[in-house]
Structure 1
């Protein structure tokens, strides 16, 4: 019997989908996968944005939950990251990939 290359095999683990934190809604809970800032998405250079997010605790594997969203445009958002509550602009949250 031939296995199709498009179908997952029994030995392969299913891949988790990664989404930008800024696209998700209140109540989402997951783990940080990576930080991928874009130079054009914020007022700060990409390296500075990444450094600041890491200092706030957005490191690989950290548990993150979206607690609240702003009234206008759902901005800013309040998230809990490993027990600490942090407010972020959606454009900053777009640099954080979560699963």
Structure 2
């Protein structure tokens, strides 16, 4: 019997690794979290979409360069933490 890898958030994905988006959670309501989740989904972070972590900025590991489809986006760590993924 094979077990699927546990869900993690996009901010913890290693450079060069690929994953599939499972869910985008709204952030804190007082920070405009619903708008941020909607923005991420409009950019292509939708359930079932394949993504790849391209690079982490230095110092501090921000921003994160993420490939979604044929597009590349830079996300802050707190934005990436809203995206639940299934690593491949």
* Equivalent residue for 2:24, pick from 31, 35, 45: 35
Q: Give the distance between the partners of 2:14 and 2:3, measured in 1 at CA.
A: 24
> TM-score scaled by structure 2?
0.87
**RMSD (Å) for aligned C-alpha atoms:** 1.8
Q: Secondary structure at the match of 1:50?
A: helix
> TM-score scaled by structure 1?
0.78
> What stretches of structure 1 move > 2 A for 4+ residues in a row?
13-16
- Measure how far apart 1:15 and its partner are: 4.0
In 2, are the aligned partners of 1:37 and 1:96 still within 8 Å (CA)?
no
- Measure how far apart 1:28 and its partner are: 1.5
Question: 1:90 aligned to 2:82?
Answer: no
Pick 1 or 2: higher relative contact order, CA cutoff 8 A, min separation 6. Answer: 2
Q: Secondary structure at the match of 2:3?
A: coil
Match of 2:8 in 1: 19
Aligned length: 86
Q: Encode CA deviations 1:9-67: one digit per residue, 9 max, x unaligned.
A: x6xx7344110101122112010000113307xx8412101110011000000010000
Unaligned runs of 5+ in 1: 1-9
Match of 1:52 in 2: 39
